[in-house]
Amino acid sequence: MPSYPVSTVSTPDGQVNVLQITDLHLSSHLPASADDISSEVAFCQYSFEAIIKQALSKEIRCDLIIVTGDLVNKVDPTIYDHIFTVLEKTGIPFACIAGNHDVTDEMGEDLPFYQRTLIARAADPRLLNRHLIESEYWQLLLLDSSITGKVEGKVNATDIDWVCKQLAACTKPALIALHHHVLPVDSEWIDSHMAENAKQFWQHIAPFKQLKVITNGHTHQEQMRHHQGVTVYSTPSTCYQFKPFEDDFAYDKQARPGYRWLQLANNGKVASWVERLDT
């Protein structure tokens, strides 16, 4: 059984196949079946485990699983225990970082968002920050962009400094994973909750041409953009999806739960695609 957190990944061909899952939003540690998914709570629980099962049944070899935040919908150690148990049972190295829901509870979920009360919570100690995973040909840098008690995020100065030091010290192709998006996705309501210092973040990482990929969660949708020579991916939630390009909050009821594959080749090239949960 790989120890947690993983810090090195070794593969026979030097390629690293990364499974990214994000925005699980679990509210319970109890299992749910396909016959009992009428509620959002049960659906999120079921789809998380169904996605793990589906992704790992594919012909592609999975070398690493990265969970990019919002593991829970309400902070509860027993839910993290369940998530970690499911991931540990795969036998595949994995790493988890925090999202806003991992450090913030929302009171009054039946109310419109702006009327809810946000309560700061301490992050589970198993959620990582400033964490390096190295393979023979790649370096993966994991950041915690969450702010306790808030929905928006930030890559704080200490984290930016750490990233720059890692990139200055190693010329391997690099990937950064974090929860909040650092480029707008052209949806006004969610863009008001992105990493609030994204401009400064991009200014500091601009000199490092080996940075190839940034991947995030938070937006509950699939997007790909390019900025400063970096490919930036937003990845669907394993649960419910947000409607893209909408200025007001809206669910995308046609989009199924999803996950992302990132193939990090031994020549520095990247291939990435999203798959959706089978109906």
The pTM of this model reads 0.96
Q: Which residue has the tokens 């699983």?
A: 65
Domain residue ranges of the chain, discontinuous segments joined by +: 16-276
Q: How confident is the model at residue 166 (pLDDT cuts 50, 70, 90)?
A: very high
| Angle (CA) 3 9 12, round 5° | 125
- The residues, any chain, with a CB within 8 Å of residue 53's CB and separated by 6 or more, are none
Average of per-residue pLDDT across 157-162: 98
Single-letter residue type at 92: I
Asked whether the beta carbons of 175 and 141 are under 8 A apart, the reply is: yes
Report pLDDT for 109.
72
pLDDT at 190 over 60: yes
Taking phi over 0 as left and psi of -120 to 50 as alpha, with beta for the rest, 185 belongs to alpha
Q: Which of 19-33, 88-102, 117-131 has the lowest average pLDDT?
A: 19-33
**CA-based max dimension of the chain:** 53
Query: What burial letters (b/e) apply to 177-209, b meaning 16+ CB within 10 Å?
Result: bbbbbbbebebeebbebbbbbbeebbebbeebe
Tokens of 53: 């099962």
Single-letter residue type at 126: R
Report pLDDT for 107.
84
Q: Does domain 16-276 have CATH number 3.60.21.10?
A: yes
Q: How confident is the model at residue 5 (pLDDT cuts 50, 70, 90)?
A: very high
DSSP states of 156-204 as a string? -HHHHHHHHHHHHH--S-EEEEESS-SS--S-HHHHTTSBTTHHHHHHH
**C-alpha span between 207 and 169 (Å, rounded):** 13
pLDDT at 34 over 60: no
pLDDT at 37 over 70: no
Report pLDDT for 208.
98
pLDDT, tens only, 198-223: 999 999 999 999 999 999 999 999 99
